[in-house]
Chain A
Amino acid sequence: MKESTPMGMNKTGMQMSPFDATDMRTGVPSMQPDPGAGDESAIAGMRNSYIAEADPVGSVPVPATVTGAVTAGMSMLAGNAPQLFIDKLGERLAFERTGTRLYDALLAKFDALGDGGTGATRAELERIRADEARHFAMLAHAIETIGGDPTAQTPCADLAGVESMGLMQVLSDPRTTFVQSLHAILVAEMADNAGWEVLVALADENHQASLSTEFTTALSEEQDHLEMVRQWFQRGVIGRTVGSQVAPPPQTH
């Protein structure tokens, strides 16, 4: 059975305040600001002045020792900007680690509320959670392999953390349903898929064949996750599934 949201006394709309709403609309013309005095371009102007003077969020950490970097393989990176590769590896690492915690929160929701008519099982959620944790560990090893520091927070890792904050808030809120939580997970999985696609391409550009192979496998697994979450979400909302936008996942399990 699909999940339902109760109907009640939501007070945010103007229809719930018919008298005050009329007063709000009529107002006192002489007190209204002049709409011809400006528009939101003033905001863009202030933002632009800050953008012009802003420092970057941060830098990609240099290897602890030059020798370490050379022997570990960073010098063998062939791409135009090896630090970009490190930055993106750090981003994926941070995202997978946070993703593991998002699934921890989703599992708690599942245990408390059930599947919400989605058809999801605990075993499937646990499997995805384990995949996220394994991807995190694999990325930590990959960063070490090319001479980077997997404990460092790179700029893109930092920003991935900022992006994930809203998802964490939805998932950890005891008031949200399983299906509402799944929507947050769906956002995460969609972003994750796009991230892995870029990472595979970067590994190829940097002539990291073995990493490319590992990342391609991870991408396939993430496509699998996305398709599962998309179908659960659709079943939870409309009681059935509608078209898929990703290729059928390869049989990786």
Chain B
Amino acid sequence: MPIDLYTTRGCPIDQQRFTWRDMVSRPISKLDDDAFTRVRVILLNGIETDALRFQHAAARRNRDIRLQLAQIRRVEQHQATMVNWLIGADHSPLETTIAYEQVAIEVTADLALKEPDPYLAQAYRFGLLEDFDHLYRYSALLDRLEGKDANNILQSYTDIIPGRPTVDEHRAPEDDLRNPYDRDAALATKLNAMTLTAAEFQTHDYYMNIGPLFADPVARQLYAEIASIEEQHVTQYGSLINPDESWMEQWLLHEAMEVWNYHSAMEAETNHHVKAIWERFLDYELGHFQYVAELFKQVEGRDPAELIPGPLPDAMSFQSHRDFIRQVLAQEVGLRAKGTQFVDKSLESQASLDYRKHINSAGSPSETVASGYQWSPGTELNRKVVVAV
């Protein structure tokens, strides 16, 4: 059932408290928990770290609300900690990467299906096919470097096959910008764009942090390459957000987006320990929304209901979108971006072609790592050794 932001008060800010002990609680089980529990953990961490990112940027430009931003930010920081620390340490950084790509694929697919604006839905399908290819490349790396099967993480929900080849995803910056949604766009459109921007930003930052932890030069190059694409994706998704919105409008929308994400996670969660965390943080986020809504009235002299008139959109679905993704792959893998539009690959801009030619001129790690790679249950060795025997 959709949440009404104005009738559910949530937990007051001064009661949103933490100890180190409850921030660092029992992690999920890599083996026994459902893959979508991990998807939700990663997504919600991305939402929280984006809240911090946005609120810091806002504080740099808004002298009068710096204290309020600092107060909310302190809670978001500890929420992010409690959420991100749920990932068990037996996930290798590369296994966690597989899970990040599963988030990018399945959440983007769900929002592409639900997005009411056809242009934004197209942008989501476009990005989806690129993250889909990243999963294939990283799965090859996991198999060939660590000798592990990516499907132990994916739990058969998500296919491991090529998408739009990563080697072809490198574009000139002008071909990564999109047209922003209108100010009067549907609330769902605004929340979808903010959610995907947050998720992709987190993925970019994760790859930038763990890439240099690998000794293997192939891994180091692959993370460098895909982190660059994630930067392009942040550019794409971030440019969908209307830059004419005021700081207070974007803050209020961000809090609404956080409420919506926690509500969606809570509705779907199968791990009782994690579900209790989603319930607690949904209550916290409702408190944040009420706090920012009051501030919105003071700063803008307007009713928040002018910006967010009704209940939140229906919860997002955490499930496999295999059929939809296969359909998009079959129909749209040949699309490329030119300016703010999506075109056939024969119509790409010279700027992107030139950029790509140079950046790939000393070799392509995404091509090298997956050369001849075909995923098989139990890794490609399972197929090759059986054939050899």
Contacts and interface: CB of A to CB of B under 8 A. Distances in A.
B148 A58 contact: no
A93 to B, nearest CB: 8
Contacts of A79: none
B19 to A, nearest CB: 13
Contacts of B26: 53-55
A134 B385 contact: yes
Contacts of A101: 144-147
Main secondary structure of the interface of B (DSSP, over half): loop
Contact of B147 (A56, A100, A134, A174): A100
A155 B385 CA distance: 24
Contacts of A158: 30-31, 90
B385 A98 contact: no
B215 interface: yes
A98 B217 contact: no
A155 B31 contact: yes
B182 to A, nearest CB: 48
Given A104-B144, A159-B90, A59 B389 contact: no
Contact of A172 (B216, B379, B385): B216
Nearest to B29: A58
A199 interface: no
B149 A151 contact: yes
Contacts of B197: none
Interface in B340-389: 377-379, 381-382, 384-386, 388-389
Interface residues of A, number: 39
Interface stretch (A16-24, A30-38, A163-171): A163-171
A162 interface: yes
Contacts of A164: 146
Contacts of B71: none
A100 B144 CA distance: 9
A140 B147 contact: no
A105 B200 CA distance: 32
Given A54-B26, A58-B31, A98 B216 contact: no
A17 B388 CA distance: 58
Contacts of B217: 172, 174
A172 B141 CA distance: 12
B147 A94 contact: yes
A239 B169 CA distance: 51
B8 interface: no
Given A158-B31, A173-B215, A173-B216, A99 B378 contact: no
Nearest to B216: A172
B378 A150 contact: yes
Contact of B31 (A137, A153, A168): A153
B280 to A, nearest CB: 18
A183 interface: no
Contact of B148 (A133, A137, A154, A161): A161
Contacts of A99: 147
Contact of A55 (B29, B144, B145): B29
Interface string B192-224: 000000000000000000000011110100000
* Interface-centre pick from B31, B152, B214, B378 (highest chain A CB count, 10 A): B31
B90 A172 contact: no
Contacts of A170: 215
A59 B33 CA distance: 10
A59 B32 contact: yes
B92 interface: yes
Contacts of A233: none
A2 interface: no
A57 interface: yes
Contacts of A232: none
Contacts of A133: 381, 384-385, 388
A123 to B, nearest CB: 17
Contacts of A102: 147
Given A58-B29, A58-B31, A169-B215, A100 B92 contact: no
A110 interface: no
B151 interface: yes
B92 A161 contact: yes
Contact of B381 (A100, A105, A155): A100
Contacts of B151: 151
A155 B144 CA distance: 21
A42 to B, nearest CB: 14
A158 B32 CA distance: 12
Interface of A: 53-59, 94, 97-102, 104-105, 133-134, 136-137, 140, 150-155, 158-159, 161-162, 164-165, 168-170, 172-174
* 6 nearest A-B residue pairs (beta carbon): A58-B31, A172-B216, A173-B215, A98-B147, A101-B147, A137-B385
Given A57-B88, A105-B216, 8 more contacts: A101-B144, A102-B147, A104-B144, A140-B382, A153-B148, A153-B152, A158-B31, A173-B215
25 contacts: A53-B26, A57-B30, A57-B31, A58-B30, A98-B146, A98-B147, A100-B381, A102-B147, A105-B216, A133-B385, A137-B385, A137-B389, A140-B378, A140-B382, A151-B149, A151-B151, A151-B377, A152-B152, A159-B90, A162-B89, A162-B92, A165-B92, A169-B215, A172-B145, A173-B216
